[in-house]
Amino acid sequence: MATGEVEDFSEPILGGEGASDYERYLRTDELLSLQKTPEEQAHRDELLFQTVHQASELWLKLAWNEAEEATRLLEAGDLAGAERLLRRSIQALQYVIDQLDMLERQSPWEYQTIRKVLGHGSGFDSPGFREIRRVTPQLGQAFTALLRERGLTVVELYVHGREHEDLYQLAELLIGWDEHISLWRMRHYLVVARVIGDQVVGTQGTPVELLGGLIKQRFYPELWQARNRLTELSNEEE
């Protein structure tokens, strides 16, 4: 740009499709074309249904990426950096949980029209949640390795938490992560039960009641079991 020439901020400077740099950077043309058009919809609520699930996949992608990087940081000894990313991961899962409220704004009868065009589509096939299941055990293994390095059990960590504040905070984040996965499962089950019922078979041939059973699954049972032992220890002191 020549000296004295005023830059025209109304014109995009990034490459790609879109009328502005905002649209080009975020690829909004492509993003907003990923939902069915009104002419393609079996029911207008397909826009709601697709919006919730597509947005959820984006938040899940962020959640598992941050959890995976947190694992790498733990392995490198950067506990503070890992904790910062895990807080993001947990918040991203909370957004996924909150978005499920929108699905309850559907009529359970009108949703039956949408259900007929889902094929064998099921939440069990969510790429984001599949990645959550992949990275979560690795995160737990990195935490367990840190405990071993300090010669601690989970119970000892909680009893002497003030002496190991960094590990204590990490343990609380891990159980928070595990808790939010359970909350997502519980919320998903309740939405499904509210919309199509709890004694029917889902689109992939899976009974809805099976979703309810998954709520009790834990990725980090040792963190949950430690609470029982801490209560036992307190009772023994009395």
Reported confidence tier of residue 2, pLDDT bands at 50, 70, 90: low
For the entire predicted model, the pTM comes to 0.91
What is the third-level CATH fold of 46-237?
Answer: Methane Monooxygenase Hydroxylase; Chain G, domain 1 (1.20.58)
Residue indicated by tokens 């909370």: 94
Integer Cα distance of 147 and 157 in angstroms: 8
Sequence-separated (6 or more) residues with CB below 8 Å from residue 6: none
The secondary structure of 12-25 as a DSSP string is: --S-SSSSSHHHHH
Would you say residue 203 has pLDDT above 70?
Answer: no
Angle at alpha carbon of residue 171, lines to 165 and 176, rounded to 5°: 125
Tell me the per-residue pLDDT of 53-107, one tens digit each, with 9 for 90 and over.
999 999 999 999 999 999 999 999 999 999 999 999 999 999 999 999 999 999 9
